[in-house]
Structure 1
Amino acid sequence: MDYVFLIIGSLVIITCFYFIISPFFSSGESQAAGTEAEGERLTLEQVYSAVNELEMDFLMKKINREDFEKMKENYQLLAADLLREETETLKQGKRMLPKGKGNLQADEAEEEILRELRKIRQHKG
């Protein structure tokens, strides 16, 4: 009878050990794949929110000035690249109008929209 209890106890311990240890090995692979997919789908709004969080961390003295400036510059470059990509896709998607009065008005309207967006982003961030 003692052997039966030893075998059952060993199986219970091995099963518990398996369930405790297995997440450490399987989660690393899925998280790495998830971060790559998220990095590809990064939006301009996410970059701005990251900069806001970075500024809050700096104001709360969680990071030093050098790290703050370096990371903020990286985020700003990333935001500039995203803006450049957005404008290129907009230009490619927009049909080419012949140079004239209609095209001038469209360009002025687009510039006005971009100015208003910058004001909103500065006010928000």
Structure 2
Amino acid sequence: MMEIVYLLAGSAIILTCFYFIVAPFFSTNRGTDSGFEQWDGTLTLDSVYGAVNELEMDYLMKKIKEKDFLQLKEQYQLLAAELMKHESKPKGKVNPASHTEEAELELLRELQKLRKQKGRI
């Protein structure tokens, strides 16, 4: 009698596991990634700084190579500089070279602040 109970319980466990393994293949929301569903299309400086911080953590944990780290970090810094340019549109004629340098310095200051807040320095 106990063998039948163990057989039924084992079968139920196996069927439940099989269901959880196979169910994602038959879901109706194919082609959508849950991480991108929450993104509303607005990019902020805080999100870029957060991405740079995550990138640095990945590099320090040896998850990515130095070459890839430097390339991605430069891209994020350029993106942040572009965001800063769009946020503070100049009202008069400003020397573009000095404006770019100023934006880069501001970016570096903000990164330094974030590192201090996170306890990295």
Structure 2-normalised TM-score? 0.53
How far apart in 2 are the matches of 1:69 and 1:87?
27
Amino acid at match of 2:77: Q
How far apart in 2 are the matches of 1:117 and 1:47?
10
Name the larger-Rg structure: 1
Which residue is 2:113 aligned to?
A: 123
Deviations 1:28-83 (A, max 9, x none): 23x38x73872721111010011011011111111100100111011111101111
Taking only the aligned residue pairs, the percentage that are identical comes to 44
Q: Please give the residue correspondences for 1:33-112 in structure 2 after superposition, counting only pairs within 5 Å.
A: 35=36, 38=39, 40-88=41-89
Amino acid at match of 1:122: Q
How far apart in 2 are the matches of 1:80 and 1:116?
8
RMSD, aligned CA: 3.5
Distance apart, 1:123 and its partner CA: 2.5
Amino acid at match of 2:46: E
**Structure 2: unaligned runs, 5 residues or longer:** 1-18, 93-104, 116-121
How far apart in 2 are the matches of 1:47 and 1:78?
8
**Structure 1: unaligned runs, 5 residues or longer:** 1-15, 97-114
Distance apart, 1:121 and its partner CA: 4.0
Distance apart, 1:122 and its partner CA: 1.6
Aligned length: 83
User: Are the counterparts in 1 of residues 55 and 73 from structure 2 also a CA contact under 8 Å?
Assistant: yes
Which structure shows the bigger proportion of residues in helix conformation? 1
Structure 1-normalised TM-score? 0.51
Which residue is 1:108 aligned to?
A: none
Distance apart, 1:118 and its partner CA: 6.3
